[in-house]
Amino acid sequence: MALTREQIENIAHLARLELQPTEVPVYQTSLSAILDFVGELDRADTASVSPMAHPLPGLSQRLRPDVITEEDHHELYQENAPQVAAGLYLVPKVIE
């Protein structure tokens, strides 16, 4: 299966990744090859198989009581933020 230039650009857009023009043909080749490779899965007859939902049989996601357990750490956490003012994360203007 060969992906087109437009398809790669669309996937990159969905993934919010800016690609350099030189990167596009590289990913065209490698993603097409990967999709061909994973196409081998079609060899398995899975008509009566249910998809795996958890790596450990019989277990599902544990739930916890709906109570507040977290403390307020926003100042500590915001030390890693690229741009902060008055306790808020700054981004370019979103609403005109």
* List of residues contacting another protein (CB under 8 A): 8, 11-20, 23, 26-27, 30-31, 33-35, 37-44, 46, 49-57, 59, 61-62, 64, 73, 76-77, 79-83, 89, 91-94
Residue type, 69: T
Smallest distance from the beta carbon of 30 to another protein, in angstroms? 5
Distance between CA atoms of 72 and 19, rounded to whole angstroms?
38
- For the bound state, the minimum distance from the C-beta of residue 61 to another protein, rounded and expressed in Å, comes to 6
Report which residue type is found at 3.
Answer: L
Nearer to another protein, 54 or 85 (CB): 54
Q: Are 31 and 37 in contact (CB under 8 A)?
A: no
